[in-house]
Amino acid sequence: MILYLVRHAEAVELGSPGAASDFDRFLTPNGSAQTLAMAQAFTRLKLPVDAVVTSPFVRAYQTASGMLSVWQPNSRPITHDALAPEKLKPNKLSEFLGGVPGEFMVAVGHMPDLGAYAEWLLGASAGAIPLAKAAIACIEFRTAPAKASGRLRWLVPPEWVM
């Protein structure tokens, strides 16, 4: 299995008009451009994607659905609460991802949980996997994702896809 961990693209600050709660924060125009650039990079590099799983928070969902609209215009991402901020349960998320049909998966979430999940999957120390907004980490597994079972194939900062 190949898992692409994607941190959501740039979003408005909490308290901005229309973003009264952290859940409601939405992508900025630059965040929308980052999302399109990430999707186009996957296409340009011929990276297959079978499923997209995302946090239910607006900025992550917009990132996931924006990417998916480039690849599969009539599809919607799958939401999962374990990708929401402060909801990470690595075993639960890995079990869920392992049950989603397909070999190539995108998971869109938030820091610091997404970085902590990558570190858990790789057996890396805390803080070892920095994920800027719109960064992508590609992790490979022999079977399903599990603790310290992954191998980091690459980590791309947003500047490389813009």
Q: For the segment 25-52, what is each residue's pLDDT rounded down to a tens digit? A: 999 999 999 999 999 999 999 999 999 9
The pLDDT score that the predictor gives to residue 78 is 98
Distance CA 12, CA 157 (A): 20
The pLDDT score that the predictor gives to residue 141 is 97
Distance CA 60, CA 107 (A): 10
Pairing mode, strands 2-7 and 51-54: unpaired
In this structure, are residues 39 and 67 in contact, taking their beta carbons and an 8 Å threshold?
Answer: yes
Of the CA atoms within 13 Å of residue 102, those in its CB half-sphere come to 16
Residue 104: partners with Cβ closer than 8 Å, 6 or more residues away? 1, 2, 4, 47, 48, 49, 50, 51
The pLDDT score that the predictor gives to residue 7 is 98
Which residue is listed with tokens 């869920």? Answer: 96
* Helix residue spans in 45-89 (DSSP H): 58-71
The pLDDT score that the predictor gives to residue 137 is 97
The pLDDT score that the predictor gives to residue 130 is 87
Segments of the chain with pLDDT less than 70: none
**Entry pTM:** 0.96
Domains of the chain: 2-160 (3.40.50.1240)
Across the beta sheet with 136-140, the strand order is 78-79, 51-54, 104-109, 2-7, 136-140, 151-156
The pLDDT score that the predictor gives to residue 142 is 95
The pLDDT score that the predictor gives to residue 76 is 95
The pLDDT score that the predictor gives to residue 77 is 98
Residue 5: partners with Cβ closer than 8 Å, 6 or more residues away? 107, 109, 114, 117, 118, 131, 136, 137, 139
